[in-house]
Chain A
């Protein structure tokens, strides 16, 4: 089973790396961060297995308390590095953060798929695709969005980064709790309920920008 995950990793990453070489600027950055997200997901899947054994296999406790923190920290590190080294441009940071989150979720879906190949259904795929994957994207994008603010205020940087990680971990933890409870439908809707207003606001802002430039 372990080998299967690595086989999947190579099958997914290799063509994307080859494509990366042909891409330019923004597209290269986006696909690059998606690849980083996939790599982080592989690392975290190993770490989570270790953590699960440390907590005597208590899946519910680990997924609602421990993995939200580890996953959000490791997803945020590449975004933090980008913000520190290159830019505090909000649009760029949000794009790469969302790409990293989606890359992470894509590979996590594959890992869960091979671990539960007997029981997965079309419904499972729809939920994983539209809900869990979106949650990962939204959490990391929120960290990227917040980072564009706190990078500009040096004194806010350390505790601001801490606060962003706390908020992302708590949001992730709430989602994981809801989807494993009787209120699971609230959990499925939560990422979309967060994503749609952000999307509408971004469209509105872009539209206003275009009109202003005309």
Chain B
């Protein structure tokens, strides 16, 4: 059986499980918008992977050309970025000078993503379309990973909510770097790394919504 297919099935099933968990736990009146956004991020990933599964099953190509599964990853990254940038960041960071280093250190995450993109796609031998798609994904990975790393190391002294969400931020950061690893692996077209990345992505997507739930519970009690 095609390892790409197995990898996509695993990620898809795990993401759907995480998505359903999030729907059940967070989609009720007066529940946190932050958790709803994370749930939708996992949902986008689930739908994107479902598309790739069907595409492989119907004899289509997922690596050589642009396909809609990429939109699922993009949607997921948009939510991860908006959740931390739009909802959480202002709660912790008041813009004062004492936190300057906590704003600079997280730049390491986007820098690493951009460095990989530059080395593999920009200076490597890549077709234009592949370069553009990977470039767009790298932009969103950079934005999302900056805030996830920032909230992972930030000393949240006022509200404490970010401290409770450190596990989630770590998982999201791992997921974003798995997206980078997947872009690189897809370029080479080898299926064993794709399977490993698929399994790891699945595990992370499965754990994200429960981690958010635990964090929210810890904060409110």
Contacts and interface: CB of A to CB of B under 8 A. Distances in A.
Interface of A: 61, 64-65, 68-69, 153, 155-156, 158-160, 162-163, 166-167, 169-171, 173-174, 177-178, 180-183
B30 to A, nearest CB: 12
Contact of A177 (B60, B65, B75): B60
Contact of B51 (A61, A170, A183): A170
Given A159-B75, A163-B75, 7 more contacts: A65-B67, A156-B37, A163-B44, A167-B44, A167-B75, A174-B51, A174-B54
Contacts of B47: 166-167, 170-171
A182 B154 CA distance: 53
Interface of B: 33, 36-37, 40, 43-44, 47-48, 50-51, 54-55, 57-60, 65-69, 71-72, 74-75, 78-79, 82, 86-87
B132 to A, nearest CB: 15
Nearest to B75: A166
Nearest to B57: A183
A177 B59 CA distance: 10
A204 B44 CA distance: 28
Q: Please provide the 5 A-B residue pairs with the shortest distance between their CB atoms, ordered closest to farther.
A: A181-B58, A166-B75, A159-B82, A173-B68, A170-B47
A178 B51 CA distance: 10
B7 to A, nearest CB: 18
A68 B79 CA distance: 22
13 contacts: A61-B65, A64-B55, A65-B67, A153-B33, A159-B82, A162-B75, A163-B75, A166-B44, A166-B48, A166-B72, A174-B50, A183-B57, A183-B58
Contact of B58 (A68, A69, A170, A182): A182
Contacts of A169: 68, 71
A170 B79 contact: no
Nearest to A166: B75
A6 B55 CA distance: 35
A171 B72 CA distance: 11
B143 to A, nearest CB: 12
Contacts of B79: 159, 163
Contacts of B55: 64, 177
Contacts of B50: 170, 174
